[in-house]
Amino acid sequence: MNSDEFVRLVSRRAHVPEEQAGELTRATMLTLAERITGGEARHLAGVLPAEIAPPLVPPEDVAQKFGVAQFVRRVSERAGADEAVARRGVAAVFMTLRAAVPDKEFQDVMSQLPNEFQNI
């Protein structure tokens, strides 16, 4: 899957225009890079389209600990969207990641997140 397809799927799943889907995708990837270990972020970046992967370069190797509510708030602030749109965007990005990367890689990412992320 290339980056245009990825953003189109996020747009469709989140019910937002493609431009906003691109912002939500970038904000979600930046926030995910903070929430998972640096090594896992780099592994995930290695299997994503080049245009989607750069925000996954983590600022540090240690994962920050925060839940879904804080994750959504950070995405909301970064994407300039209200929290309801950000929540839909995060869910759409996670659904699209599941389809875009090998299952083992997706499961490795999810294993670093609290169980509440399973229901986003």
Q: Does position 23 have pLDDT exceeding 90, yes or no?
A: yes
pLDDT in tens, 39-98: 999 999 999 998 998 888 776 778 899 999 999 999 999 999 999 999 999 999 999 999
Determine the average pLDDT of the residues in 18-25: 97
Place of tokens 């995910």: 32
Does residue 119 lie within any of the structural domains?
Answer: no
Does residue 88 lie within any of the structural domains?
Answer: yes
Cβ partners under 8 Å of residue 53, min gap 6: 29, 44, 45, 46
Name the pLDDT band for 21 (thresholds 50, 70, 90): very high
Under DSSP, is residue 95 helix (H, G, I), strand (E, B) or coil? helix
CATH of the domain at 80: 1.10.490.110
pTM value is: 0.94
Contact by Cβ (8 Å): 43, 105: yes
Q: Does position 119 have pLDDT exceeding 90, yes or no?
A: no
Separation of alpha carbons 69 and 24, rounded Å: 16
pLDDT given at position 71: 97
- Cα–Cα nearest to 55, from 44, 70, 63: 44
Containing domain of residue 31, as a range? 3-113
CA dihedral 119, 41, 51, 120 (to 10 degrees): 10
